[in-house]
Structure 1
Amino acid sequence: MPHNDDTITLLYTSDMHGHWTRADGQSDGSLACAAQYAANIRNSHKHVWMIDNGDLLQGTPLASHVAQNEGECGAEMVGNLLRASGVDMAVPGNHDFDYGIPYLKGVIASSSCVWLAANVRHRSGKRLAESCHIAEFGARRIAFIGVTTRVPAWQYPDRLEGWEWHDEVLTVKAIVDHIRSNVDAIVVCYHGGVEREGAPDQENAALRMAREVEGIDVLLTGHQHDRFVRREGKTLMLQPGSHGTDIGEVTLTFLTGEDSKEMVSEGRITDITGQEESAEVVAEVLKVRDRAEAGLGKVLCLCDSRFQLHDWHDLTCSEHPIVEWMHRVQLKESRAQLSAVAYAGEKQLKLSSGQLTRGDIQRIFPYMDSLSVFEIKGAELLSALEVSASWYDDKSQEPHADWLKPQLLLYQFIMFEGVRYTIDLSRPIGSRLRACHYQGQAVWHADSFTIVMTDYLAGQASRYPMLRRMKRLYGIEEPLARLLESNAGSQCMLRIDYTSNWEIIGGNVDVDSLNEEEAQGGGL
C-alpha cells in the first residue's frame, strides 16, 4: 500500500524493563535497536508515530541505580534518553511506579514526548498525565488513549498513598463515547494484558475492553511479555514481547471512495534482535553508565562460588543457595515461622571473582517489592504447595505447558521454607504433595502459621489464588532488595550451608519407605 497522507504507521514497544542498550541486560534487543528501526522507517514513510507502552524505567541494575541514586538528575537522564530514541508517546507501566510518584513525575516533566495515564489520578483530582491525545497526520485525526493495569494500587498502597487507579474499561469507554465522532480512528495504549477466557482477572482486561467498548480501532497491549497479532471483533490487538527483542507495527490506511470512507488496519510483530543500535541512544546511555559504574560495582562481600546460577533449571530441580539466602533474610527480618520466595532475577548469574556487588543484588531481585507477614492456614499452605508441584511436566522436571503461558512463569514458582515437603511426580497434578511437615509434625488443614512473602506474591501471583485469602498481620517497610543488600554488606563472606527442605521424587521410588513415612504422620 502507498505511504502517503492516507497511510499512518504506528511503531510500539512494551516492557523494555531497563534494556536501554544490549549491554544493559541479557536480551539481544534494546530500546536503542527499536529507535534505529524507527529511524529507518521514518526515512521511507511520511507519517510515523512511535509509542512506548510501559515498564521502561525498571528491570536492570543500571535502571535501578538511576532511579534510586541519581534523583532529579536521573529523571533528566531518562528524559534525554527518550528524546534521543524518538519516542512520541509513552504510557507508564505498573513497574514504572516502583520508585514512587516523584521519580515518575520527574521523568514525565523531563521528556519531550506525550505521556498518557487516563485511569490514574490523585484523590484531589490532579492527574498524573493526559488522558487522551489527538494527533494530526495530514488531514487525519487519530486519538490515542493511555491506561495502565491497576496492579500498583494493590502492590504499593503505602508508597502511592492518595493515588487511585480507576477501572480501565470504564475509563476508556467514557473517553471513546465522547470523542468517537470527532476523530478518524481511536488507538488505545493499554499497559495490561489479555485475561483468560471466563476467568475473573483484576490485572488484565484487554478482552473485556475490546468487547465492551465499541469504537476502538487498535488496542496495543503489554504487561504479559507475550507476542501476538489478533482481532477481537473489529478491534486489531497486538502485543510485542519484551526487553526490546521485537517491535509492534500497525499500518492505518484510509481508502476514500465516491460514496464512503474506509480505514484498513494491519498489524505485525517484527524481530529486531539483528538491528543495529541507534548511536544517539547508546551515547546517552553511556553518559548514564559512566556515572553509575562505581555504585553498581561496589563490593558488598565475598561469597560462595555456589551462588552462581548457571541455568534457571537449577532453581526448580532442588533448593539453590540464592533462594536459601533470600529465605533466611526474610525470616530474620520478619521473625515469621515460614517464608515464601519466587526467583525473579536473571536466569543466568555470573559473579566476578567470588564477589557480590550492589549490581548483583539487582540481578537477583530487580524489583522494589516490600515484604509482609501473613497468617496462613494449613489448608491454604497445602493447596499452594500443590500449585508449586504442578510446575513439573508429568515425570520430567521441565515446566508444564500451563506454566509457559503467556511466558515462562518462573517468577511465580513459589518455594517454601520452614516446612519439609516431598513432591511425587508419579502422581497426577493436584495430588503430588506426598508429605509436608512442620517441626517434625504433619501439617493439617486446621493448622495456622505466620508466613513472610512479598506483597506481589500474596496479591498478584495468579497461579496461587488461595494466598489472597491470607490475613495480613504487618508489613516491613524496607524493600526486599535493600534488605538483601544490607545483609550482604554486613558480612565478610556470605556462605550458605544448608540441607534442602524439599525434594522431588519420580516414578522409580521406594514405595515401602514412603508408606512408612506416611504412617508416621507425614502423608497427605
Structure 2
Amino acid sequence: MKLVFLHSSDTHGFLLPTDYQDKDNYNAPFSLSRVSAAIKAEKEKYGADNVVVTDSGDCLQGSPLASYAHTVKDFSALKKFTDAYNEVGYDARCLGNHDFNFGLDYLTYYIDNNRADIINDNVLDEETNVPAFGREYKILEKNGIKIGLLGVTTQYIPHWEPKENVEGLKFVSAYEKVKHYAEILRPQVDVLAVMYHGGFESDPESGEATEPHRGENEGYKILTEIPEVDVFLTGHQHRRLNLVTKNTAIVQPGYRGEAIAEVILDIDDQTKKINSMTTKLIDTKDYDPDQKIVDTVKELDQNTQKWLDHPIANLNEPAPIENAMKGRLEGAPFVNLLQQMQIWFTKADVSATAVMSETAKGFDKEVTMRDVLLNYPYANQLCRVKLTGKQLRHIIEHSAGFLKKNGDQITFLDRWIKPKPLLYHFDVFYPVEYEADISKPAGQRLTKLKLHGQDIEDDKIYHLAVNNYRAMGGGFYPEYSMDKIEFTLDKDYVQMFSEYLTHGPIKVDTKKNYKFY
C-alpha cells in the first residue's frame, strides 16, 4: 500500500494569494488557500485513509493580514485567522519561532482553537520540565499502518524573543528530544515521522557545514544520529528540499505556501516494512484558491486593506530605496531614515540595520501602514547595546565579510544567497563613516571607521541601536550577547514609525556614509 504525507510550513499568515503591495492583485503564486486546494486534490487522488497532513509552523506572523489580525485586541480576527488553518484539515502541527512573536496569550488562544493536534516535545515548562503546549506525540492509523508523529522547533527562540514572550518556558535541543521520544515511539509504530521547525546546519547529503553549528538548526544531526526517523518534515529555512538520503525522506516546502511537500512510502501489506520512498514538491500556483478559506477570511482581508491604506505621516521629501540589493551595497535614503529613527528612540551613538524586504521601495511623501509593513515586515523590537570600539569594529568587519570582489564588481558570497537567501543578516551602520577593501582577507577589511570625524577608539564605550533579533544572537555575528543589552523598547517598528514620522519635521539624510571597494 501507499502512505502519503502532505506537508506545509512557513506560510507566515499569507492566507490569500496577495502580498498586499497592489491592493487589487490576488494572483500571487502562493497562499494558504492554494496550499489547501493542493492538499485536498492530493487527498482525493490517494484517498483520505492513505494520507497524513502536517505543518511545521511559522503561521502567526509575516503577512500584513497577520499584522492586522494582531491589532484586533479581542481575538476575533485571530479566530477567523485560525479558522482558515483549520479548514486545511491538518492531522498534526508543530510551532515555529515566529509563532511566539505576538506573546503567549495570543499563541495560547491560537493553540486552543486549533483543531489539529499541536505536537511539542522541546518547549517545556521551566518548573515541571514537561511540554508547555500540546502533546508529546501522536499515533494515528491509516489502513492498518501505525504512524508516530513527533514535533519540535528550533531551540534558538529565546535568542530572538523578548523575555515576556517566553516567560516560564525552557527551550531544549530538538535533537535531544527527538532522540528521547524516538526510542519510546519506534517500537509502537510502523512509520516514524518528525515535524521540525528547523533546518539543516550541514548539507544533508555531503555533510559539509553550511552554517555555524550553534543549535539553531539541528537537522543534519537528527538525520545522521537518529536512525529511527523515516520521514523528516522540516521548515524554518524557507528552502525547497525534497530528497531521500540515509534511509530518510526529507522535505521542506519553501515559503508563504508556494508549495506543498509530498512523501510517498510504499509499504508491504504483510510485514508493514517500507519498500521504497519518493519525495516531491508540488507548486501551489497551479491550484485555484480554496473557496472555503477565501470566504472565511473575506471580512478580515477587507479590513486589512482598509488598515493598510491608512496614512500615518507626511514627509517633506521622499525616502526611496531603488532596489534592495543596491540599497545594501550603496545605501539609500530609506535606509538612512530607518537608522535616524533608531537613533532618535535610543539616543545611541551608532545604528545598525539590514534591508529587510527584497521588494522594499521606501517611502513616498505620504506614508501609509502598507508602506511600513512592506518595507519592514518583521515583528522586531529595538534595543540599545553597549560595546567597546573594538567590539563595534568586529561587528562591522563581520558584515563586510559577506562580500566578495569579481573584478570591479562587489557581490555577496554564494553562501548568503543559497541554498536560502540570508541577506537580511547583512547589516549596514550609521552615521559612522566607513570603508572596506573587499580584496583583503575577511576580518581585515576596514580601512576607515570614523564617527563625527573622529576614529573609533578601541577602548571607548559606544552605544549601538539594533533590533532585538540581532542583539540576541541572530545572524551569527560576533560580540552580541544578552548582557550587553542596555534596554529594549516596548514598541514594534510599525509603532515606532508612526511615532517618529509624526513627532515633527524630519530631514531625511541622503548622503552615503559607507563604501565597499
TM-score, with normalisation over the residues of structure 2?
0.90
Structural mapping, 1:217-236, within 5 Å: 217-236=230-249
Runs of 5+ unmatched residues, structure 1: 1-5, 506-524
Q: Could you tell me how far apart the structure 1 residues matched to 2:181 and 2:299 are? A: 40
Give how far 1:188 is off: 0.3
Could you say what secondary structure the match of 1:112 adopts? Answer: coil
Q: Could you tell me how far apart the structure 2 residues matched to 1:139 and 1:116 are? A: 22
What is aligned with 1:182?
188
**Residue 497 in structure 1 maps to residue 509 in structure 2:** yes
Give how far 1:463 is off: 4.1
Residue 59 of structure 1 is aligned with which of 31, 49, 62?
Answer: 62
**Residue 272 in structure 1 maps to residue 302 in structure 2:** no
Structural mapping, 1:96-245, within 5 Å: 96-125=99-128, 127-156=132-161, 157-196=163-202, 197=208, 199-245=212-258
Residue 10 of structure 1 is aligned with which of 2, 5, 8?
Answer: 5
Give how far 1:203 is off: 0.7
1:282 to 1:302, Cα distance in 2 relative to 1, 3 A: same
The amino acid of 2:403's aligned partner reads Y
Could you say what secondary structure the match of 2:83 adopts? Answer: helix
Give how far 1:124 is off: 4.4
Q: Could you tell me how far apart the structure 1 residues matched to 2:215 and 2:389 are? A: 26
What is aligned with 1:520?
none
What is aligned with 1:20?
15
What is aligned with 2:384?
373
**Residue 74 in structure 1 maps to residue 74 in structure 2:** no
Q: Could you tell me how far apart the structure 2 residues matched to 1:307 and 1:92 are? A: 37
1:74 to 1:121, Cα distance in 2 relative to 1, 3 A: farther
Give how far 1:252 is off: 1.8
What is aligned with 1:329?
341
The amino acid of 1:473's aligned partner reads E
Give how far 1:469 is off: 8.4
The amino acid of 2:280's aligned partner reads R
What is aligned with 2:90?
87
Could you say what secondary structure the match of 1:230 adopts? Answer: strand
Q: Would you say how many aligned residue pairs link Structure 1 and Structure 2?
A: 497
The amino acid of 1:176's aligned partner reads A
Give how far 1:35 is off: 0.9
Q: Could you tell me how far apart the structure 2 residues matched to 1:342 and 1:325 are? A: 12
Give how far 1:25 is off: 4.9
1:289 to 1:478, Cα distance in 2 relative to 1, 3 A: same
Give how far 1:149 is off: 0.6
Contact 1:225–1:406 (CA<8 Å) still a contact in 2? Answer: no
What is aligned with 2:25?
none
Could you say what secondary structure the match of 1:367 adopts? Answer: coil
Contact 2:328–2:354 (CA<8 Å) still a contact in 1? Answer: no
Give how far 1:466 is off: 3.3
Q: Could you tell me how far apart the structure 2 residues matched to 1:267 and 1:310 are? A: 40
TM-score, with normalisation over the residues of structure 1?
0.88
1:260 to 1:502, Cα distance in 2 relative to 1, 3 A: closer
Deviations 1:480-510 (A, max 9, x none): 332122212435x6551342221233xxxxx
Mean Cα deviation higher: 50-59 or 279-288: 279-288
Contact 2:238–2:253 (CA<8 Å) still a contact in 1? Answer: yes
Contact 1:55–1:94 (CA<8 Å) still a contact in 2? Answer: yes
What is aligned with 2:373?
362
Mean Cα deviation higher: 182-191 or 242-251: 242-251
The amino acid of 1:431's aligned partner reads Q
1:175 to 1:260, Cα distance in 2 relative to 1, 3 A: closer
Contact 1:344–1:366 (CA<8 Å) still a contact in 2? Answer: yes
The amino acid of 1:206's aligned partner reads G
Q: Could you tell me how far apart the structure 2 residues matched to 1:168 and 1:246 are? A: 25
Give how far 1:64 is off: 0.7
Root-mean-square deviation (Å) = 2.3
Deviations 1:212-235 (A, max 9, x none): 223011111111111122345222
Q: Could you tell me how far apart the structure 1 residues matched to 2:273 and 2:201 are? A: 33
The amino acid of 2:182's aligned partner reads V
Residue 386 of structure 1 is aligned with which of 397, 403, 408?
Answer: 397
What is aligned with 1:300?
312
The amino acid of 2:361's aligned partner reads L
Q: Could you tell me how far apart the structure 2 residues matched to 1:87 and 1:359 are? A: 31
Give how far 1:325 is off: 1.6
Give how far 1:141 is off: 1.0
Could you say what secondary structure the match of 2:515 adopts? Answer: strand
Could you say what secondary structure the match of 1:415 adopts? Answer: strand
Contact 1:309–1:347 (CA<8 Å) still a contact in 2? Answer: no
What is aligned with 2:205?
none
**Residue 403 in structure 1 maps to residue 416 in structure 2:** yes
Give how far 1:70 is off: 4.5
Contact 1:376–1:470 (CA<8 Å) still a contact in 2? Answer: no
Could you say what secondary structure the match of 1:145 adopts? Answer: strand
Contact 1:53–1:190 (CA<8 Å) still a contact in 2? Answer: yes
Could you say what secondary structure the match of 2:85 adopts? Answer: helix
The amino acid of 1:330's aligned partner reads Q
Q: Could you tell me how far apart the structure 2 residues matched to 1:251 and 1:447 are? A: 60
What is aligned with 1:285?
297
Q: Could you tell me how far apart the structure 2 residues matched to 1:451 and 1:350 are? A: 23
Runs of 5+ unmatched residues, structure 2: 22-27, 203-207
Give how far 1:377 is off: 2.3
Give how far 1:66 is off: 0.2
Could you say what secondary structure the match of 1:22 adopts? Answer: coil
1:309 to 1:69, Cα distance in 2 relative to 1, 3 A: farther
What is aligned with 2:485?
472
Contact 2:34–2:290 (CA<8 Å) still a contact in 1? Answer: yes
What is aligned with 2:332?
320
Give how far 1:23 is off: 1.7
Contact 1:302–1:494 (CA<8 Å) still a contact in 2? Answer: no
The amino acid of 1:437's aligned partner reads K
Give how far 1:147 is off: 0.6
Contact 2:416–2:422 (CA<8 Å) still a contact in 1? Answer: yes
1:42 to 1:256, Cα distance in 2 relative to 1, 3 A: closer
**Residue 50 in structure 1 maps to residue 53 in structure 2:** yes
1:130 to 1:487, Cα distance in 2 relative to 1, 3 A: same
Contact 2:332–2:510 (CA<8 Å) still a contact in 1? Answer: no
Q: Could you tell me how far apart the structure 1 residues matched to 2:193 and 2:392 are? A: 44
Could you say what secondary structure the match of 1:379 adopts? Answer: helix
